[in-house]
Chain A
């Protein structure tokens, strides 16, 4: 139905859509995890925080699992190179994620305060570690990763875990972590009340500020101090191009090239920059639900900005630019993309529809009274 060229662009878009889906839906869960030990002053308050997301966080995390599955199926070489290259980072991420299902489910099953406090910190780690590792990985993706792909299509990675901690990538961590805190705080402000909501509002203020400043700084850095990549040879968009047949140049500022080719793309960084300010405005006017939509939009804009700057690169290689993985040489076959496209278009709307229904059923604020009434049922 679609030609291979169009289909691969669609699949690039689906990949970005899933990254956005994960960041928007699970982002506030991660943020609330990070804020848990600081915003919740009493056990009941912490339980309020947990129960705003308790029934839904698992479905939200499934965006990450699906993202993994989709990249495995539609972008196998990217999946293989990324996960094996960032081996230690991915395991640290995994160990962080371990703490969440058990943290939510086990924390309130015993009344012992030390048990509960230990799980609260576990949930903090479960929120912080994924936020940090994923932002760090994103920063390194933008910079290019040190890998090489041989003629058998086997990838070899030459960096270590500690090499990921580059100054630019650390700036990206600041962007990511502050954004997740903002997103989480906006959700709490919406779904809780009294002292807790007030504390969440204060987090909205400072996290917006940190996010906006660090996002602008990262943008300036990309414009004047960071190498971007560009394919300089002819592009074969009809078949799966042979990786090594392309030539790639690596130069300062190339990541801005797409903004001249597609001027409408500028909307994305623009919205991300002013969006956090709009979140503050909306939440100060008590449009808390709208503020949450706005912070979701900011999350999307940040991801689209990064991905849009890099297109058609998905994973540039800093040590062997010709090994870089792009939309044109790392996708699945035409047949697989076609069938997986239909499967996705059929199933994701259903998923989103029942997710929306679940949120509707669970709507409304969670209060300390709710917790006291349902001590033995709630998380």
Chain B
């Protein structure tokens, strides 16, 4: 029997390390593209200031990139160390995606990042520009493969269970690659990264403008960031990944919890803007609803229904019962794989095997589950409503706040007065944390919203863990806690130091603090 504490600690460790990694990834994604844009402008205009911009924002990029690399390996290791049964059970499908990510994307970014920093003297202008673009391409490609892998966890297509090897096996690469959920997730997440990079450059440039130093440098940075940021934030919002939530039952359950929609409504469903979801009574207290909106967002139509939580639970109960039958025949097939009667009976219930496995948390044998245990498993077959309801709203709120900031910056840029709007500059500066808050909340919606599954409908989280003991987990958690805290302090210290120095840190003699020195002399 799997120890519950091992499951909970493994989840905690994965969530903490993934959220921590996700502090650095979005900035890498966005900033690498902004660097490529700035350097392109430099090549086209031959104005030295754009080269300085590429180098200065590149310095900040480097400080952040090192942390992204440091924390990224953790995640790849952790599938094996903490989620060994997961690794065995879906490695045939999930593993190759990480392998391709390494070969196609990670090599690209980590090989060219060195040349980006040290190749200025050794490469021609155009060669260096190509290197920068390859670096940016590498970061986004890396996100593509990771999100195809993640999309498969949310909506597992192109694979089938094999009872001889006791695992999922890949049946169609095309289905895996062109998983609609993966496409939506990729666009949403990468665009969110671009927003993060833009907000970072926008906010810091606003800081220089408020301090009235390096104005030419800051205005140009501000302009590029506001244009790129506006385009990106619009794609994040318009192409938000709710559109993928109608595919697959686990995604539908996620949607219902986001909305705290207990009953199936007549279409098009209304959107609950605000309220307090109540798990006990299965109602949302003080709900403020906007008619039609939800149906439109989720189904992009006015006649498709969005299923409510109660009916989803009803359906899950039936699938758990059918899954028990599948599990019983699986045991027979594991004894004798030639048993044709068991084979056909198993085939009939095979799609519900994962639901049967949900019972493993309550009884090791599955087939002897009592009605009370089935009820318990059903109740826990969807995530808790309140955390998702709130995190989703928090994320969306951050998104709209950034939309306002970018739109206003863009507007005043076209009037060439953005640098005089002190209220806007202040807003941009204090808005720097927004994309991080949104990204972290978005991760919670997507991944906590997938519970109780690691692979939706196929493999319960509870079963996915390694057979490690609690002591090892406390030790590793403590290790991560110490290392990550110290590293974060150091990273922020360096980041703030270099932000304060600004482009003077390039020691070109052209910027604020060096001018000062000259004046003092």
Contacts and interface: CB of A to CB of B under 8 A. Distances in A.
Nearest to B484: A98
Contact of B98 (A73, A84, A91): A73
Given A55-B114, A102-B70, A336-B92, A95 B87 contact: no
B80 A336 contact: no
A237 interface: no
A359 to B, nearest CB: 10
Contacts of A347: 100, 103-104
Nearest to A103: B66
A91 B81 contact: yes
- Interface of chain A, main secondary structure: helix
A98 B94 contact: no
Interface residues of A, number: 72
A62 B107 contact: yes
A83 B84 contact: yes
Contacts of B94: 72-73
A72 B123 contact: no
B341 interface: no
B171 interface: yes
Contacts of A88: 472, 475-476
B67 interface: yes
B64 to A, nearest CB: 10
Contact of A155 (B115, B119, B122, B467): B467
Nearest to A352: B107
Contacts of A94: 73-74, 77
Interface in A52-102: 54-59, 61-62, 64-66, 68-74, 76-77, 79-84, 87-88, 90-91, 94-95, 97-98, 100-102
B386 interface: no
A279 B507 CA distance: 43
Most buried by A among B82, B466, B472: B466
B117 to A, nearest CB: 7
Interface of B: 62-63, 65-67, 69-70, 72-74, 76-77, 79-82, 84-85, 87-89, 91-104, 106-108, 110-115, 117-120, 122-123, 162, 164-167, 169-171, 173, 334, 466-468, 472, 475-476, 479, 483, 487, 490-491, 494, 497-498, 505-507
Given A83-B87, A90-B81, A95-B479, 20 more contacts: A55-B114, A57-B114, A69-B99, A73-B94, A73-B95, A79-B91, A87-B476, A94-B74, A105-B65, A109-B498, A153-B166, A333-B92, A336-B96, A336-B170, A343-B100, A344-B103, A351-B103, A351-B107, A358-B112, A376-B505
Interface of A: 51, 54-59, 61-62, 64-66, 68-74, 76-77, 79-84, 87-88, 90-91, 94-95, 97-98, 100-102, 104-106, 109-110, 151-157, 239-240, 242, 332-333, 335-336, 339-340, 343-344, 347-348, 351, 354-355, 358, 361-362, 376-378
13 contacts: A51-B118, A55-B117, A70-B99, A73-B94, A74-B96, A77-B88, A80-B88, A80-B91, A87-B466, A102-B70, A154-B88, A343-B100, A362-B122
